[in-house]
Structure 1
């Protein structure tokens, strides 16, 4: 329920800013303000998540985020909202997510235990994407019928659901996780821990590029609806729902198969970037809409497998700090990429902005694949003959000259 409300607010917030300013760059600034706190303070959120009980943290953060939604609803329904109000409230909500994100990610392991963690991460993503499927459609109807303010109000009220759920949990049935003791140098300790493990470093590097450039859909979709297809808020909601439908399929596939191999993560990132390029060039609305589905599927498959890869390869006492770094580079890169992508989109058009970001994502995936192959003592071998496996990893010795 709360995730549905959150997606309603995101759609209504983007459309409200576009209505107030007429600028895709302003939408990019809004997205940047929402994720800037993660870039500035994200690692400290991980220290807090490792040190204090996650359930208590979540009760505080969920309550605060609900209040920001109600404040934006009051301003909008009162007819006094200005774009700077949206910027400020987006920044305040972002402050709460600094602590909420790593605590929520790590709390999954306390709910199900280590044996079910991979499946739980995938189902958690499926839950999120189901809300992403419903929320934009409902938001589009509400915006068209009664305005953005009611979407903000419903989002604020939706936080009653997770707060109630957290209060009703039977604490004796949770799986205890070792908490880090209070001490100096814990932030530096977390960074040193990640730096010494290539299996953590390279997925996080890839997450940075995909998160900074590849996931700026609010900017592109508002620009496509407004400038390319000349639609309204209802079309914007439909396109977001189609993107979410593909994302849900990707999450359910990951949950069913339990995939967490690094090569699946890299392959999904490459497919995601290439699909963005193809989707950007779609000449008609119906083809653009159809291509959003596989784009969302591979984007979410990348996200889920990267998340589970990092969590499963991290010690329990360090998991909060590692996941805060993961979330910091994933969503914290948006303040860097959002305004740039918005400027490119405003200056050169929606198609060019979308294509450039897809190419960056594909190039990053290719570069990380080559680095991982080299560090693993293998090379990527192409074989275009009929009946052969066209792409496979082989030991580097196979390329040694015959003696």
Structure 2
């Protein structure tokens, strides 16, 4: 029997492809993603540059971990309250303010490096300020996606938005390596500062009449506690949050583990770190396209993704050379984006509009707010025992998260989310 596709298969294939990119049919979403994608390239340029700058100044994995922690500590402390702020104000206006603030911080750091006056304490202070703006920006960006496309397309929009993040992760390190080797680290921060202008331009160009805004929540007592209680009362929200907290603290510490793997384990150059990070992003792009194509959410899928992510990170830890580590990073990137988009879509679809800002803020806290806890541990463990053991700790975190996801209990609310 022939296995060649029949004419009837073509419409089905086109239908699946159209579904895969459905959110891009919304003009506002296209504009927003275009601006975000260009800005995210700048973000990854700065991410690479900051790690290399700290290593040049200190040559210490512990101090690299502490500097990374400084950048994300405000998210741990402020994100839950920032989520309430996002619920109370128009998200587009909040984003205009946070993007301008983030651009200013990057410009100040770039100026400090270019003038030769940069010191570690300056990097740490500006990292804290950057984190304060990010604490508000992250939940606002995530909650704004549904206002761009509406409820029916939110799963697809979240996945495509996450995929664009990882396209930037492929491009950004390459540009960073080129800038560092030609004009210097300082211009990486300047490039990121300029990139925030693309997001601001996209926000200003949106058709506000085509948005799907949720009404701002009126100020009242007990709203913060109400948000925590709401999240804890729903299985489709609390389990992904707990899983993300574990994985975010000990597995998603690639800003610390990968530069140390490149420099200390493989004795490579700054380009080696860029290759590892780009491979992670390339895998995430493929994983994101698969996630958009399959369009599944739920705790059960998240549990499977957590196991796959842990195995892939274990392969990175066991890689005998740079080439195999790059290949393993591709697998880790694919598993990571499936884990992220599944968890993010699950909690957004499970939450009511009045609570969405607070719920997505808790997700941001679990994802990047946990970094101040995990990054110093990963850095210190790398210095004490080696980066391979630090990566294996990430594997263990993924497997523990899978236990949380598969722990038997009666669902409190299925909230229309497939598990």
Q: TM-score, normalized by length of structure 1?
A: 0.91
Q: Is residue 368 of structure 1 aligned with residue 404 of structure 2?
A: yes
Matched residue of 1:80: which SS?
A: coil
For residues 317-353 of structure 1, what are the alpha-carbon distances to aligned partners after superposition, in whole Å with 9 as ceiling and x for unaligned? 1100111111111111110111011100111011111
State the partner residue of 1:356.
Answer: 393
Q: Is residue 44 of structure 1 aligned with residue 50 of structure 2?
A: no
| CA distance 1:252–1:26, change in 2 (3 Å) | same
State the partner residue of 1:401.
Answer: none
The answer (yes or no) to whether the contact 1:36–1:332 under 8 Å persists in 2 is: yes
Matched residue of 2:268: which SS?
A: coil
238, 253, 257: which one aligns with 1:220: 257
The answer (yes or no) to whether the contact 1:311–1:319 under 8 Å persists in 2 is: yes
**How far, CA to CA, are the matches of 1:360 and 1:127 in structure 2?**
26
Matched residue of 1:25: which SS?
A: helix
366, 380, 387: which one aligns with 1:329: 366
Q: CA deviation at 1:225?
A: 1.1
State the partner residue of 2:193.
Answer: 156
**How far, CA to CA, are the matches of 2:269 and 2:182 in structure 1?**
12
**How far, CA to CA, are the matches of 1:292 and 1:95 in structure 2?**
30
**How far, CA to CA, are the matches of 1:78 and 1:143 in structure 2?**
16
**How far, CA to CA, are the matches of 2:199 and 2:394 in structure 1?**
35
Q: Judge which range, 56-65 or 159-168, deviates more.
A: 159-168
Matched residue of 1:189: which SS?
A: helix
Moved over 4 A (4+): none
**How far, CA to CA, are the matches of 1:257 and 1:143 in structure 2?**
39
State the partner residue of 1:53.
Answer: 90
**Aligned ranges 1:297-312 → 2 under 5 Å:** 297-312=334-349
Q: Is residue 113 of structure 1 aligned with residue 138 of structure 2?
A: no
187, 200, 204: which one aligns with 2:237: 200
Q: CA deviation at 1:179?
A: 2.2
State the partner residue of 2:70.
Answer: 33
138, 163, 166: which one aligns with 1:126: 163
The answer (yes or no) to whether the contact 1:8–1:151 under 8 Å persists in 2 is: yes
**How far, CA to CA, are the matches of 2:381 and 2:411 in structure 1?**
38
The answer (yes or no) to whether the contact 1:140–1:235 under 8 Å persists in 2 is: no
**How far, CA to CA, are the matches of 1:218 and 1:100 in structure 2?**
20
Please, what is the CA RMSD of the aligned residues?
A: 1.4
For residues 233-253 of structure 1, what are the alpha-carbon distances to aligned partners after superposition, in whole Å with 9 as ceiling and x for unaligned? 112111110000011111111
Q: CA deviation at 1:374?
A: 4.2
State the partner residue of 1:66.
Answer: 103
**Aligned ranges 1:3-402 → 2 under 5 Å:** 3-365=40-402, 367-371=403-407, 373-375=408-410
**How far, CA to CA, are the matches of 1:61 and 1:376 in structure 2?**
37
Q: TM-score, normalized by length of structure 2?
A: 0.88
**How far, CA to CA, are the matches of 1:324 and 1:74 in structure 2?**
31
Matched residue of 1:128: which SS?
A: helix
Q: CA deviation at 1:21?
A: 0.2
State the partner residue of 2:24.
Answer: none
For residues 352-376 of structure 1, what are the alpha-carbon distances to aligned partners after superposition, in whole Å with 9 as ceiling and x for unaligned? 11112212221221x21331x3436
The answer (yes or no) to whether the contact 2:244–2:367 under 8 Å persists in 1 is: yes
User: 5+ residue gaps in structure 1?
Assistant: 378-392, 394-403
User: 5+ residue gaps in structure 2?
Assistant: 1-37, 413-418
Matched residue of 1:355: which SS?
A: helix
**How far, CA to CA, are the matches of 2:400 and 2:245 in structure 1?**
13
**How far, CA to CA, are the matches of 1:225 and 1:326 in structure 2?**
30
**How far, CA to CA, are the matches of 2:285 and 2:68 in structure 1?**
22
State the partner residue of 1:396.
Answer: none
The answer (yes or no) to whether the contact 2:239–2:299 under 8 Å persists in 1 is: no
For residues 39-92 of structure 1, what are the alpha-carbon distances to aligned partners after superposition, in whole Å with 9 as ceiling and x for unaligned? 111111100110100010000000000000100110000011011111111110
